[in-house]
Structure 1
Amino acid sequence: MKYQSKKKAVVLLADGTIFYGKAVGGDGTAFGEICFNTGMTGYQEIFTDPSYFGQLMVTTNAHIGNYGVNNDEVESDSIKIAGLICKNFNYDYSRVAADGSLQDFFDANNLFAVSDVDTRALVAYIRDNGAQNAVISTDVDNIEGLKRQLAEVPNMDGLELASKVSTKEPYFFGDKNATIKIAAVDIGVKKNILRNLAKRGAYIKVFPYNATFEELSAWDPDGYFISNGPGDPQPLKEAQQLAKEIIARDLPLFGICLGHQVIALANGISTYKMHHGHRGINHPVKNLLTGKGEITSQNHGFAINREEAEAHPEIEITHLHLNDGTVAGIRMKNKNCFSVQYHPEASPGPHDAEYLFDQFIENITKAKVTA
Structure 2
Amino acid sequence: MKAFLILEDGTVFTGTSIGSPREVISEIVFNTSMTGYLEVLTDPSYAGQAVVMTYPLIGNYGICYEDMESFKPWPEGFLVRELSRIPSNFRSGDTIQHFLEVYDIPGISGIDTRTLTKILREKGTMNGMITTNEGFDLDEVIERMKKYSVEGVVKATTCKEIHVLPGEGKKVALLDLGAKKNIARSLQERGCQVTVYPAYTKAEEILSSNPDGIMLSNGPGDPKECKEIIEEIKKLYESGVPIFAICLGHQLMALATGADTHKLKYGHRGGNHPVKDLETGRVYISSQNHGYVVDMDTVDPAVAEAAFINVNDGTNEGLKYKGKNIFTVQYHPEACPGPQDSSYLFDRFLKMMEVDDHAQKS
TM-score, normalised relative to structure 2: 0.96
Q: Which runs of 5+ in 2 are unaligned?
A: none
Counterpart residue type for residue 54 of structure 2: T
Whether 1:172 aligns to 2:164 is: yes
CA distance in 2, matches of 1:223, 1:369: 13
1:124 — aligned with what? 118
CA contact (8 A) 2:19 2:98 kept: no
1:147 — aligned with what? 142
Whether 1:293 aligns to 2:287 is: no
CA contact (8 A) 1:279 1:298 kept: yes
1:57 — aligned with what? 51
Aligned length: 359
Q: Which runs of 5+ in 1 are unaligned?
A: 1-6
CA contact (8 A) 1:297 1:350 kept: no
CA distance in 2, matches of 1:26, 1:182: 39
Whether 1:303 aligns to 2:293 is: yes
Deviates further, 80-89 or 16-25: 16-25
CA contact (8 A) 2:5 2:14 kept: yes
Instruction: Render the CA deviation track for 1:177-202: whole Å, top value 9, x for unaligned.
Output: x1210111111100011110110111
Instruction: Render the CA deviation track for 1:87-124: whole Å, top value 9, x for unaligned.
Output: 00112111111111111211211111100000000000
Choose the corresponding residue for 2:66, options 40, 50, 72: 72
1:3 — aligned with what? none
How far is 1:160 from its partner?
A: 4.0
Correspondence 1:350-369 to 2 at 5 A: 350-369=339-358
Whether 1:103 aligns to 2:102 is: no
Counterpart residue type for residue 325 of structure 1: G
Counterpart residue type for residue 146 of structure 1: V
CA contact (8 A) 1:64 1:86 kept: yes
CA distance in 2, matches of 1:169, 1:50: 17
Counterpart residue type for residue 167 of structure 1: C
1:205 — aligned with what? 195
Correspondence 1:267-346 to 2 at 5 A: 267-309=257-299, 311-346=300-335
How far is 1:84 from its partner?
A: 0.5
Counterpart residue type for residue 246 of structure 2: I
CA distance in 1, matches of 2:336, 2:157: 18
Instruction: Render the CA deviation track for 1:208-253: whole Å, top value 9, x for unaligned.
Output: 1111111111222111111000001112123212221122122101
Whether 1:264 aligns to 2:258 is: no
Counterpart residue type for residue 64 of structure 1: I
Deviates further, 236-245 or 323-332: 236-245
Three-state SS of the structure 1 residue aligned to 2:342 is coil
Q: Mark the CA change 1:368 to 1:21 in structure 2 (over 3 Å): closer, same or farther.
A: same
Runs of 4 or more off by more than 6 Å in structure 1? Answer: none
Three-state SS of the structure 2 residue aligned to 1:234 is helix
Three-state SS of the structure 1 residue aligned to 2:160 is coil
CA distance in 2, matches of 1:224, 1:69: 33
2:38 — aligned with what? 44
Whether 1:137 aligns to 2:131 is: yes
Q: Mark the CA change 1:350 to 1:239 in structure 2 (over 3 Å): closer, same or farther.
A: farther
1:4 — aligned with what? none
Instruction: Render the CA deviation track for 1:126-146: whole Å, top value 9, x for unaligned.
Output: 000000111111112213343
Three-state SS of the structure 1 residue aligned to 2:231 is helix
TM-score, normalised relative to structure 1: 0.94
CA distance in 2, matches of 1:53, 1:26: 17
Aligned-residue identity in percent: 38
Deviates further, 280-289 or 27-36: 27-36
